[in-house]
Structures are given as C-alpha cells and as structure tokens.
Structure 1
C-alpha cells in the first residue's frame, strides 16, 4: 500500500464526527485506505449482492451486527443506509463510529445531505499524488512516462500495461456508472463523447461545440458531463470570481482527474508519441493542476482553485488565495525556461495588481530559481512543496 496523505485528515475527522466518508473515483484506493486505517472495524461491501439483499429485506437485522461501528464500502448502493445511520448516531454519537466510501458523489452526497448533515466528515480521495509515489519511481518514469501511465495505484503497484488497464477501467467502471444513472442506449456514442472530452482537457468548456463533435444534443452532453464530474473522471475549474474592472471569460475549464486516462482516450500508447503530441502541453497542465487539487483535498480543504482570463488575452493558468492575496501560477510544459516563459509568468500576476503574490512558473524541466520576480520551479518540486503549502489541519 502506498502511504496516503489523506490518512491524517481522516484520523482527525474521525475524532470529531460519528461518521466519516470518503468519495473519489473508482480504483483510487479508497477501500485499501479505510481498511488499513480502520482495521478494527468490520468491513462490509455493499457491492456484494448478498449483503445488499440482507440489508434491503431486513435492515434492522443487518445493522444489528454493527452496533459498535463498521466500514460500509460503496454506501450509495443501499440508499436507505443513511436514514438508518441517522437514528443510530443520534442515539450514540461516538466519534469515528462509522466509515462510508462511495465512488459516485451524487449517490453518496445526496444521502448525506438528506439524512446525515452535520454528522459526517466528508473527504475525497483522488489517485496518487507525486508526494505519495516514491521519489525513485517518479525519477525512473520521467515526466512523459508518468503522464502516460497516470496515477491510479494499481498501475504502480502491479506490472500492468496502461493500455490494458484503462480499456478495462472504462468498460467496467466509467460506462457502468453512466448506465446506472442515465439510460444510455448507444455506448459507442458515449465513447466518442469521452474521447472528445479528452481532446479538450485544459481548455475552456464549450458545451455546444463538444455536443456537436460528439453528435449529441446539448442536454445530453450536459447530463453526461455531470455524471463524469460526479464520478471524479473530470472536474471543472471555475474562472476567478472577482471582476478587477475587466471583461472576463465566464466558462469553466475542463480537466481530467488522471493524465493516463487522457492519453489512453487520445490513442497515445508510448512515450515517443506523447513527447511529440500536439496536446502534450494540455496533458502537462492537467497533471500540474491535478497536483494542486489533490494536495488541497488531501489536507481536508475545499479545492478553491481558479483560473483567470479576460477578453484581452490576460490570463493565469491557476489562481488561489493565500491569506487574502492571490497566488497566480503559470504552467509551461517545455523543459527549457525561455524569456517568453518569464514574461508569461509576469503577465499572469498583472491582472490582480497589488493583490497578487509573486507569480510561480511550473515547467517541464529541472530548473528552479528566482528570475525577474518570477519563482521558477520544476514539476518534480511540487512533490515536496505542495504538501507544505496546503498543510493538513492540526487538532
């Protein structure tokens, strides 16, 4: 098992809430983490048809086995669980009594908001971050190797070919999640839609253009996007909300949670192809933005990440708040830091004026230094830096 940064946040929440819950994409390591962290509790998978049938037919008898608490995996598979747990924890609010996991945010979150509000400490576990992989592994794979393989734990714990694993992942999990929520008759059309999404990672979301390319209606495209977002396959990065007197772009940017899945959907099967691929910069940006997202979630913080772009071309790839001031981040995939990169970093901070901190420039090479007011950092430095920037809360 890889040591997961979310463990500290889970332990902290389990000392304050009677229930803790972990959402996240399938195969991100939720079950492994909670079984290791709460090994003293009985484990029940509600994906198991027999357990689910027992729960549906005799809920009182089913739950009577777990008066002292339990880990319920894929809790959204039995929606009535949430109302039953409400009564149990209201009668005895022992901290950390129950642990829930769920791969579909819409299923788990709807149950929590309806029945368990105020009783649950919520967390999200995304695939591995750079900080959770051994440094030797990161170095051995290199940037392109890491982007091609992605960060799902199974692809680093076992000798698996990414192409084989992702083909099974999409067929077994992603398509199944869509079928469970929406009545998708033509999976080939959905697969085309998914590939079109991959080709737009790191770009402004234009639902009409995406729907047109995929051959579906705008309504269908929005519905499918909502399922992909709720299943943590993709996420939307919103534009920064303050005006600063500019005409702003209002559309969010679309990102995939994992670069390996992006590469597979785009038909990239080897490092050589990725290195020359026209969208390599977008894949790199997806990796970097994902690292910021994972670090904040692992620390128990809301994402609160944004981008900035106005109609005059002034933009920052990433923006977040630090003690009331804005930290702009420019992301460039090239391995050599050029004068153009430095100017882009300077420009990224210009929109906020005095409210902006010195800009960061994250690039695909190995250089790290200060230049012309820009903090230049290589992509591998995120491994040690981000957990410090977004440190976990202390009790």
Structure 2
C-alpha cells in the first residue's frame, strides 16, 4: 500500500477516541487504509446485504458480536447503527475500538454528529495527492501536466495502471449514479448526466444556478438540489469567496470545482492527454488540480477549515486564499509554462488593499522550474510531487 499522508493523524486519533470515522469519496482508499492500519480488527461491509440486514434488524446483536470492535465499512447504509454504538462505547471507551468509513457525507455525518459527538474523531480522505501518485507510479514524475490532469488521482487508476478514461467512465456509471439514486429520487438520469457535464464545463467559474438550470432544462430548485447531491457524494467542491469587514462590494457566489480533476476531464469528453493540453479549459482544470491539492493537504493534517478565493467587483482576483489564524496565504495559479509579469498583478493589488491580512503569497505555474523571487516566489507545479511543504 502507498503510505497516505493522513496516516499519522489517523493513528493519533485512534489512540484518543473510541471511534474514528473516515469519510470520503468512493475509491479514495478508505477501506485499504483502515484495513492496513488495523489488520487485527474484524472487517464488515454494510454493502453486503446479509450484514446490512443483520445490522438493521438487530443492531444490538450485531454490535454484541464485535466485543473488541471492528472496521465497519459504508456505515451510512445502516445510519441508525451509530445510535446503538453510542451506548457500546460509553460502556467501554477503549480508544480505537471501532473504525467507521462512509462515502455519503450528509447521511453519515448527520448520524455521527447526533450520536457520537465527543466520542469520535473525524477524518476526510480524498483521492491521492500528487506526492502519493508519485510514490504509487514513479514513472509519472516525468510526464507532462496534461497527463496528470487527464488521469486524475483515484488510487485504483495508479495502483493498477488502469486506463483513466475507462476507469473514470466506470466510476461515474457505477458509483456516482448509484450513490445519488440512494440518496434521493433522480428520476431522469439522462438529464442529470447532462447537468453534471454542464458543471464540468463551468469548472473554475462562479456558480450561476440560474444559467446552469436553464442550460440543463430543469428548475432552479432542482439545480440547487443536484448541486447539493454532488457535494454530498464528493463529486464537486464549492470554494467560497473571502470576506473582510469592508464597504467594498465583493463577489458572493462560490466557485465550482471537481474533487477529482480527472473526472472533470472525462465529463468534458477529453479522452487523451493531448486533448487536455489543447482544450480551452486547460487553465481552469489546472486551477482545479492545484486547489484540490491545497484542500487535501489541509485535510491530511486535520484542518477542515475552508479555503477561499478573492474577487472584487472590478474583477481583481486571487485564485486561492489559505487561512492561517487571523491571516491568509495568497496563491495565484497559472497554467502557462513561462512566467509572465501579469501573474503577479492580483497579488500586488490584494497586498496593497489587505496587506495586514496577508501572511505571504506566491504563484504556482505550469512550468518546470521554481523561481525564488524576492517579492513573490514562483513554484513549479512539480514541487507538489515531493509532498507537503
């Protein structure tokens, strides 16, 4: 198994809480990680109809059969089990007794927050980081950026050397549609698929529900509900704007990204890296990649606080703001392989306006060489393969 950056945090929480809950998208490696860290624990998946029926029909008997605890996979398939688990761990709060995993964050987290508050540590595991991919498939280090965007970061693609287009197509058909149908009645799957593809066409853009609903041919309330479902199933990630106490008018709509940039490429019909390299959305896809790397890094360290972007009414913007206490770190993200003076414009204007809120800043770009400039350092995207800074 490729070592995951979240592993030290996982082990630490298992020494502090009787339950550790690991959530994230399907195929992000939750089961592999849990079973590798706790090989002596019984493993039960509630996707198994027999186990699920047992847990639903006789939750006390189900848990009584696991006196030393267990790994319970896809716990959202029996959400009421967490209520019974509360009494079990209150009677014996030995740290690390139960490891819960799940891939539908709303149902799972609703049960966890209601029944296991104070009894569980919560982790979110997203697909591989760039550094984890470099460990799983070292040959990818030499590949161009378009290959990275095209393949995405789901572990199975890199562990098993799968064709990304085939694997991502299977992922969308087998998991995304099924999960969403479990959560709610999406009767018109064809229209829903069109909706998701339209979302991919808006990657890196401000979310405009009216436009999205009109193009998909659905009511705005339906579009809003579907966006919520895509968030719940870890398909899309909304990044909210950054606000300060100011009289200036700021953009209030979030930006839309995909949890996995490879899935966004697949939904756009990009089946080869060469197509990604030529696509008009290449810059937005690169931005998606970098922003999700930042989010993964924070989650792997146990920091679930949101990241932001900045854009004012005049169009001045900074692509990514990372809160650090009372200040922020600012990053501009540019897919070009040659550093352009315009790359620093947004950072300079932000610093002039909000210098007291700015801890530091820089540019991440699509070139291969980092440049330690005095004002705004420039980092090659390839430094991400070496792990967190």
Distance in 2 (alpha carbons) for counterparts of 1:82 and 1:121:
14
Distance in 2 (alpha carbons) for counterparts of 1:142 and 1:335:
11
Range with greater deviation from structure 2 (136-145 or 289-298): 136-145
Task: From the superposition, tell whether residues 298 and 358 of structure 1 become closer, same or farther in structure 2 (CA, over 3 Å).
Answer: closer
1:19 matched residue in structure 2 = 19
Distance in 2 (alpha carbons) for counterparts of 1:318 and 1:124:
21
1:2 matched residue in structure 2 = 2
1:214 matched residue in structure 2 = 216
1:360 alignment partner, one of 350, 359, 362 = 362
Alpha-carbon deviation of 1:320? 1.6
1:334 matched residue in structure 2 = 336
User: RMSD in angstroms over aligned alpha carbons?
Assistant: 1.4
Alignment map for 1:153-192 (pairs within 5 Å):
153-192=155-194
* 1:316 and 1:349 in contact (8 A); partners too: no
1:299 matched residue in structure 2 = 301
Alignment map for 1:250-261 (pairs within 5 Å):
250-261=252-263
Alpha-carbon deviation of 1:142? 2.4
Range with greater deviation from structure 2 (292-301 or 321-330): 321-330
Distance in 2 (alpha carbons) for counterparts of 1:262 and 1:59:
39
Deviations 1:241-292 (A, max 9, x none): 2134421001111110111101100001112211111000000000000000
1:267 alignment partner, one of 244, 266, 269 = 269
Task: From the superposition, tell whether residues 210 and 60 of structure 1 become closer, same or farther in structure 2 (CA, over 3 Å).
Answer: same
Distance in 1 (alpha carbons) for counterparts of 2:94 and 2:101:
19
Q: Normalising by the residue count of structure 1, what TM-score does the alignment of the two structures yield?
A: 0.95
* 2:76 and 2:104 in contact (8 A); partners too: yes
**Paired residue total:** 387
Distance in 2 (alpha carbons) for counterparts of 1:80 and 1:137:
45
Task: From the superposition, tell whether residues 254 and 351 of structure 1 become closer, same or farther in structure 2 (CA, over 3 Å).
Answer: farther
Asked if 1:47 corresponds to 2:33, the answer is: no
* 1:76 and 1:107 in contact (8 A); partners too: yes
2:93 matched residue in structure 1 = 93
1:320 matched residue in structure 2 = 322
* 1:6 and 1:298 in contact (8 A); partners too: yes
Distance in 2 (alpha carbons) for counterparts of 1:329 and 1:124:
23
1:145 alignment partner, one of 144, 147, 155 = 147
Distance in 2 (alpha carbons) for counterparts of 1:378 and 1:178:
37
Asked if 1:285 corresponds to 2:287, the answer is: yes
Q: Which runs of 5+ in 1 are unaligned?
A: 389-395
Q: Which runs of 5+ in 2 are unaligned?
A: none
Alpha-carbon deviation of 1:80? 2.0
Distance in 1 (alpha carbons) for counterparts of 2:344 and 2:250:
23
